[in-house]
């Protein structure tokens, strides 16, 4: 009997520990409860104009510097002469800190009708508050934060002029002068006057694919440090009119201390612009193995993100592609990238979905970076043509199993996140300051969705906010390396990424059950290094760059 009791106890212990090891948090949709009432307006009224298919992005930001992440939702607007009676402006929602948000768009001075696409947030003038760059169809906008809850449109005064089809955008300091520059990905040459008739059935108009239009060169604006910018697109070497860019992210792929640019192109080769350190870039996408897929074909690339997901100390890439094209997981092998999507078990799972927004994040705080993707097709009736492909699609939530593989657990984290939507932009941020990351998703011509992470903080964590002095105020481009009992993790503070969106600028690390962080090192763009030792978890740590 005693032996049997021991066996039973051991069996029960095995079950308990297995359940604990397999624990996953839940994602609960709280959009209505949080009082976020936003429906994207693509202006559609039957003409099937190309921009209507694209959707817009979103951002987490702390615009009033109160320590709580606010939400910005980019919006389109009606086409001239045709009213849909929908909202015509973006939406800025202020976080109350009590689980609800208030629409402060008008009070903030952002109630300006624009056909918006992407957003990037950063303190470009180093005055201590977060400013907003908005990429748009025909005319981008730069909004300077006045520090009193309002913004001023400084586009013209700052010298910003991008009359193109702006999509994703990103702040970064490409020349390491301490002032943030702005990179804007442009898509194709399109206007109502040049709109083309395309059809799937030979009779009715459908939305055209990008092959029908010529590409458009992206833009790089250098920050002069006096509140103005100068267009250096051509002299820097990034101006390529063959590109059809939808996603952009910044990474130091060769670890030379200089920020490089990755540009995800739709049906054109992806571009990797290597920073030469003299104000110019050289395009090395083909040499680095990421211009085409393994079949030598340019994919319909949309969103992109970069991170050290395999604890190698090097940043790799996740890229969202069109349906019938799997995700790319480009693992960094120093001067070359290998697409690990098939062996990482991302390939078959993502083959039929059309991925716009995507990002790396540690949703269960186990110290391994996971992947989230927002999916949705561009053709409302695609299912009548391709029976296995739908317009609204489930997101993917790929859990990093720490052995080079990922498992899609979207159906294991509650029913809300698994509900199909027409996903577009997506970002992550900690809206309730509980240490785990929540998810924001926009949809095309539909409502936004806010999913709260419930239980991710059962593991320990550390949040790190940087304050630059010699470097830019946000510490964008700084590399943070932490070491604890579970190993070493690195993050780069960055703006932009995903698709037309921006995640929280604060770096959040998962620590599993570790009770102490042995070291935290911050490698600033200026070359300065901060080092801390024996830091307790479960706190927000503000690190100021040493002089």
3-class secondary-structure state, position 182:
strand
Whole-structure pTM value? 0.94
292-298 contact pairs (CB < 8 A, 24+):
293/325, 293/328, 293/339, 294/339, 298/265, 298/267, 298/268, 298/269, 298/270
The closest alpha carbon to 495, from 487, 486, 482, 504, belongs to: 504
Q: How many other CB atoms sit within 10 Å of the CB of residue 189?
A: 14
pLDDT of res. 204: 85
For residues 174-185, give the mean pLDDT. Answer: 98
Kindly indicate the confidence band of residue 19, based on its pLDDT and cuts at 50, 70 and 90: very low
Q: How many other CB atoms sit within 10 Å of the CB of residue 102?
A: 14
Tell me the H-state helices in 42-170: 155-158
pLDDT at 532 over 50: yes
pLDDT at 375 over 80: yes
Chain segment 399-427, per-residue pLDDT in tens: 999 999 999 999 999 999 999 999 999 99
Chain segment 461-488, per-residue pLDDT in tens: 999 999 999 999 999 999 999 999 999 9
Kindly indicate the confidence band of residue 200, based on its pLDDT and cuts at 50, 70 and 90: confident
pLDDT of res. 10: 40
> Of all residues in the chain, what percent carry a pLDDT higher than 70?
96
pLDDT of res. 21: 46
Q: Report the alpha-carbon distance of residue 144 to residue 390 in Å, rounded.
A: 41
Return the CA Rg of the chain: 22
pLDDT of res. 381: 85
For residues 329-345, give the mean pLDDT. Answer: 95
Q: Report the alpha-carbon distance of residue 79 to residue 21 in Å, rounded.
A: 53
pLDDT at 120 over 90: yes
The closest alpha carbon to 420, from 384, 402, 446, belongs to: 446
pLDDT at 489 over 50: yes
383-392 contact pairs (CB < 8 A, 24+):
385/200, 386/323, 388/352, 389/323, 389/324, 389/352, 389/354, 390/420, 391/422, 392/420, 392/421, 392/422
Strand partners for 483 = 488, 519
The closest alpha carbon to 316, from 296, 283, 339, belongs to: 339
Q: Report the alpha-carbon distance of residue 525 to residue 82 in Å, rounded.
A: 49
Of 152-166, 195-209, 491-505, least confident by mean pLDDT is 195-209
DSSP-derived letter for residue 412 is G
pLDDT of res. 22: 61
- Reported as half-sphere exposure (CB side, CA atoms, 13 A), residue 96 has a value of 10
Q: Report the alpha-carbon distance of residue 190 to residue 49 in Å, rounded.
A: 9
Kind of pairing, strands 460-467 and 540-544?
A: parallel
- Reported as half-sphere exposure (CB side, CA atoms, 13 A), residue 287 has a value of 10
pLDDT of res. 89: 97
Q: Report the alpha-carbon distance of residue 452 to residue 450 in Å, rounded.
A: 7
Kindly indicate the confidence band of residue 206, based on its pLDDT and cuts at 50, 70 and 90: confident
pLDDT at 333 over 90: yes
Kindly indicate the confidence band of residue 202, based on its pLDDT and cuts at 50, 70 and 90: confident
């Amino acid at each position: 009997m005693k032996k049997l009791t021991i066996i039973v106890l051991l069996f029960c212990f095995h079950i308990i520990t297995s359940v604990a090891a397999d624990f996953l948090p839940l994602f609960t949709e709280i959009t209505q409860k949080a009082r976020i009432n936003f429906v994207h307006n693509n202006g559609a009224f039957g003409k099937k104009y190309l921009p209507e298919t694209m959707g817009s992005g979103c951002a987490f930001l702390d615009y009033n510097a109160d320590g709580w992440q606010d939400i910005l939702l980019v919006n389109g607007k009606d086409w001239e002469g045709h009213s849909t009676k929908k909202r015509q402006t973006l939406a800025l929602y202020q976080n109350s800190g009590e689980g609800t948000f208030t629409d402060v768009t008008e009070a903030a001075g952002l109630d300006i009708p624009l056909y918006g696409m992407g957003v990037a947030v950063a303190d470009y003038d180093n005055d201590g508050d977060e400013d907003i760059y908005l990429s748009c169809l025909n005319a981008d906008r730069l909004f300077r934060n006045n520090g009193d809850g309002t913004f001023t449109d400084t586009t013209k005064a700052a010298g910003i002029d991008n009359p193109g089809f702006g999509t994703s955008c990103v702040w970064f300091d490409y020349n390491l002068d301490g002032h943030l520059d702005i990179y804007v990905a442009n898509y194709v040459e399109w206007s109502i006057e040049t709109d083309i008739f395309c059809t799937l059935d030979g009779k009715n108009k459908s939305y055209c694919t990008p092959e029908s239009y010529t590409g458009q060169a992206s833009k790089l604006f250098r920050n002069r440090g006096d509140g103005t910018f100068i267009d250096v697109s051509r002299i820097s070497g990034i101006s390529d009119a063959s590109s059809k860019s939808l996603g952009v992210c910044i990474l130091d792929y060769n670890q030379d201390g200089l920020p490089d640019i990755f540009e995800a192109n739709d049906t054109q080769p992806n571009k990797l612009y290597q920073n030469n350190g003299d104000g110019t870039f050289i395009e090395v996408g083909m040499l680095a193995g990421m211009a085409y897929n393994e079949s030598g074909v340019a994919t319909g690339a949309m969103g992109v993100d970069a991170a050290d997901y395999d604890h190698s100390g090097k940043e790799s890439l996740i890229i969202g592609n069109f349906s019938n094209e799997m995700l790319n997981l480009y693992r960094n092998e120093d001067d070359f990238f290998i697409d690990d999507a098939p062996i990482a078990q991302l390939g078959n799972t993502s083959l039929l979905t059309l991925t716009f927004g995507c990002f790396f994040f540690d949703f269960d705080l186990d110290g391994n970076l996971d992947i989230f993707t927002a999916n949705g097709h561009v053709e409302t009736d695609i299912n009548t043509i391709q029976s296995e492909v739908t317009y609204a699609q489930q997101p993917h939530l790929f859990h990093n199993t720490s052995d080079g593989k990922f498992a899609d657990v979207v159906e294991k984290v509650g029913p809300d996140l698994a509900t199909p939507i027409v996903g577009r932009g997506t970002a992550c941020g900690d809206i309730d300051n509980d240490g785990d990351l929540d998810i924001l998703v926009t949809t095309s011509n539909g409502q936004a969705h806010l999913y709260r992470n419930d239980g991710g903080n059962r593991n320990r964590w550390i949040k790190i906010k940087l304050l630059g002095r010699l470097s830019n105020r946000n510490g964008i481009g700084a590399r943070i390396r932490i070491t604890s009992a579970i190993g070493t993790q690195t993050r780069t503070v960055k703006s932009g990424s995903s698709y037309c969106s921006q995640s929280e600028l604060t770096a959040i690390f998962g620590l599993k059950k570790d009770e102490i962080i042995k070291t935290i090192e911050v490698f600033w763009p200026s070359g300065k290094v901060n080092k801390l030792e024996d830091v307790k978890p479960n706190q927000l740590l503000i690190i100021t760059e040493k002089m």
